[in-house]
Amino acid sequence: MSLVARNALIALFITIAISGTVAYAINYLNNARVSELSAIEEQLSIDSLSLETQFSLLESAPCDSNASSVTLTTELADFGNRLSYAENQLGSDNSQVIRLKERYSLLEIRDYLITKQLAQVCRTKPVTVLYFYSNAGDCADCDKAGYALSYLRDTYPALRVYSFDYNLDLGALKTFIAVTKVRSDLPAFIINGKHYYGFTSLEDLEKQFPKGALATTTATTTRL
């Protein structure tokens, strides 16, 4: 065998070995990714059932359940964080992510309605924020607004923040948007019933809250 032929054969073997290694690595990572996301979806399903059960408990004894209400808010926020992780892993247009987002949106709407019910029946004054965003590339400030709200939620645990994908094709959400009269100028906020559009800074967003509203919540040492 000539030197040229031998070198060509060696190069071919090396190429095949590299291609095989890359294919194996990609397949391994894909399988690991699917397993991880399946675990996330299973955990989210359990969280969803837990939240539904807590909703029922709150409705049966609303004014005796302040501690449970705070716990529910925390669990709902954790659900949202896990959903965000899944969305970052798979993309916002993934069918799995969309299905989980629809479930999360329904839970948020229900929690918001229960919060309003508690406020009327138990004479409480919760501080709520409805936040509407878009993943369609038509909202340049949505990411910054989301980070700002996450900071406020972490700093003031009693603050109830509800985030909704404005373009999500979900009948209940479309009705909710119509009832709350939110325009498509995103990002959009409804802070204790007051509409606010656009985002400039965390400081300006804080100014949109009723005077003293954030001071009445319990602040933590979390920093941006």
* pLDDT of the chain, 224 residues: tens digit per residue: 566 566 566 666 677 667 666 555 555 555 555 566 666 666 666 766 776 776 677 666 666 655 445 556 666 777 777 777 777 777 778 887 888 888 889 888 988 888 888 788 778 788 899 999 998 889 999 999 999 998 998 888 778 899 999 999 999 999 999 999 999 999 999 998 899 999 999 999 988 887 777 765 544 433 33
Q: What is the pLDDT of residue 95?
A: 81
* Domain region containing 37: 1-125
Of 90, 125, 160, the residue at which a domain comes to its end is: 125
Residues 90 and 173 occupy one common structural domain: no
Burial (0-12, 13-18, 19+ Cβ within 10 Å), 196: middle
3-state DSSP assignment of residue 161: strand
Rounded Cα–Cα distance for residues 58 and 67 (Å)? 10
Q: What is the pLDDT of residue 68?
A: 46
How many H helices and E strands in the chain? 6, 4
Residues 110 and 11 occupy one common structural domain: yes
Return phi, psi of residue 93, to 5°.
-100, 5
Residues 8 and 115 occupy one common structural domain: yes
Burial (0-12, 13-18, 19+ Cβ within 10 Å), 7: exposed
Of 76, 100, 125, the residue at which a domain comes to its end is: 125
Q: What is the pTM of this model?
A: 0.71
Q: What is the pLDDT of residue 66?
A: 53
Q: What is the pLDDT of residue 188?
A: 96
